Amino acid sequence: MKKLALYAGAFGLVQGLTGCTEENVSADRAGSERVLNDTQAVPASAPQDDERLVLAFGDSLYAGYGLDPKESFPEQLEQALAAKGLAVDVRNAGVSGDTTAAAQRRLAFALDGLDRKPDLVMVNLGGNDMLRGIDPDETRRNLTAICEELKSRDIPIMLTGMIAAPNLGNDYADRFNPIYRDLAERYDATLYPFFLEGVITDSGLMLADRIHPNAKGIEAITRNVAPLVATALKAS
């Protein structure tokens, strides 16, 4: 109960949406799109024979809102995997402010823009749906469509999930929270249930908006997620 109370306080009022001004979201989204387009147009480096390709497809939590590009989750994940002896090219396909609907519309473009089929696609979406109070049934439909697209291309999936803020009520949470587990079971996807686990309740790991992790928060998340990614890549 204490953890839920802290979580509710961390998110504040739903009316705050992503905790950013529209101007900041627009600017960060535009920057994320430029990074994404540049990445798709020109491979970062010539692929090694044994190098794996991971696409981090999500919203601001992947894009690295408020952080230096080198501090973003995809960059930190690539470094963490390298430390484990794995040569992995993690492409940042995060766009700040994206809902599941917006992301679903750009998925094919993101995949087709890569120089080859990825060995794993990580999906972190739904936070903006939740913060805007979008019907969880719509969120489920959009995430299902994303998983279907990946399945049709025979691409392994990893879901990093979200949890509904308690101030949205039990009914909303009961419909929203199971989405990621259900999809992971349906599509045999690797699941990290809550991307902000152990971070959102620690102010020292969050930006001032209390919604996005700071660089130390990303480091903490990466330590938890990297072993799952490594296992998923070895199994693919």
CA distance 175 to 171: 6
CA nearest to 221, candidates 178, 177, 160, 165: 160
To the query of whether residue 212 is one of the catalytic residues in this protein, the response is: yes
CA nearest to 1, candidates 166, 194, 195: 166
Query: If you write DSSP's letter for every residue of 106-160 in order, what string do you get?
Result: HHHHHHHTSSS--SEEEEE--HHHHHTT--HHHHHHHHHHHHHHHHHTT--EEEE
Spatial CB neighbours of 42, under 8 Å, sequence gap ≥ 6: none
Question: 60, 72, 89, 98: which is the annotated catalytic residue?
Answer: 60
The answer to whether the beta carbons of residues 236 and 119 sit under 8 Å apart is yes
Token pair, residue 211, equals: 């919604």
- Residues tagged active-site: 60, 209, 212
